[in-house]
Amino acid sequence: MGASSVVVVGDGDTWRLDDYGLSIAHLSASTIHRYRTSLDWFIREAALLGIDSPAQLDIQRIRRLVSKRQASGIARATIRTDLAALSSYLRFRDDLNLAHLRLALTRPKNTNGQHLPRTLDVAHVVDTLERLANDPALSRLDYAVLETLYDAGLRVGELVQLDIDDVNFADGRIHVRHGKGDKPRIVPVAERCCVALQQYLGTRSDTSQALFLGARGSRLGVRTVYRIVDRYFPGAHPHLLRHSYATHLLENGADLRSLQELLGHARLSTTEIYTHVSHERLAQVYRELHPRGK
């Protein structure tokens, strides 16, 4: 992570960003990118407080910046990444003896209990994809992206990194080589997903190995995937299709261990959040259908 990759007001060398980039080079590319984005925000906001050097940091100022981030309404997961990035940086700056400032980095409390991921109704997803599959005027790229996101439960970062050779059309499997934490996995997909991908590839005349290409012939970008999802599922985002994939599998009898492998979660506890979503669905069914459920 070089100084040029972070928007810095003032003397970038003061923050020793090049050296910090070397110190986290062992992390995955996605983590380094998230840390870079978080530090980008932090350094700009610090400059607004007149902080042009990490030596000027104190607990009160750090807490003020963290509180501002929380008040912006940004997702808790993003705030946790912000805190992890800042904590990592403070640990790195041992030349300034800033370790005590890490005590100020308390994670935001969830006063409403555990946050449950929103999901799409299974009938809505299936009906929409069926309609799109039979629409000859629809972009084959758009349809292939949507089918792959939902059929494989991929993260958007995993989707855009897929190569053609990662898809085994004969066996109906996708090799996810760039999973979170650089943990590869193989996920099964339905025949309709393979057909969607083959139809899309049939529209191309290039020699690129990237599975999905953008308008300029380069690898499809994350922002474009967000626009595709929002176009056909208004208000939704790619990760919402992943949440729906997990919840729909669980509701149809998938066990947690299998779901953990399919999602590429390092810890089973991460997967267990979907049991809460499923329980909420069961409670809804009970309230709606049981004669004395209301």
**CB distance 189 to 151 below 8 Å:** yes
Output the pLDDT for position 284. 66
Neighbours of 182 (CB within 10 A): 12
Low-confidence residues of the chain: pLDDT under 50? 1-12, 107-113
Q: Catalytic residue among 180, 219, 276, 281, which?
A: 180
Output the pLDDT for position 282. 59
CATH number (3.40.50.2000, 3.40.50.300, 1.10.443.10, 3.50.50.60) of 122-289 reads 1.10.443.10
CA atoms in the 13 A half-sphere facing the CB of 105? 19
Hey, CA dihedral for 32, 163, 172, 198, is it positive or negative?
A: positive
**CB distance 82 to 42 below 8 Å:** yes
Q: Catalytic site residue 232? A: no
Q: Catalytic residue among 155, 178, 243, 248, which?
A: 155
Q: Catalytic site residue 243? A: no
Domain boundaries, the chain: 3-104, 122-289
Q: Tokens 């409670």 label which residue?
A: 283
Output the pLDDT for position 259. 87
Q: Catalytic residue among 34, 36, 242, 243, which?
A: 242
> Which CATH code is given to the segment(s) 3-104?
1.10.150
Q: Catalytic site residue 274? A: yes
d(CA 229, CA 145): 9
Output the pLDDT for position 167. 97
Amino acid at 24: I
Output the pLDDT for position 294. 55
Task: Tell if the pTM clears 0.75, that is, is over it.
Answer: no
Q: Catalytic residue among 102, 118, 175, 239, which?
A: 239
pLDDT, one tens digit per residue, over 90-141 is 888 888 877 777 765 654 444 344 555 678 888 999 999 999 999 988 999 9
Q: Tokens 């807490």 label which residue?
A: 63
204's CB contacts (< 8 A; 6+ apart) are 213
Output the pLDDT for position 146. 97
> Alpha helix locations (H) across 187-237?
191-201, 222-232
Sheet with 167-168: strands ordered across: 167-168, 173-176, 185-188
Output the pLDDT for position 14. 83
Q: Catalytic site residue 245? A: no
Q: What Å distances lie between residue 156 and 35, 48, 58, 130, 229, CA to CA?
A: 18, 33, 37, 22, 11
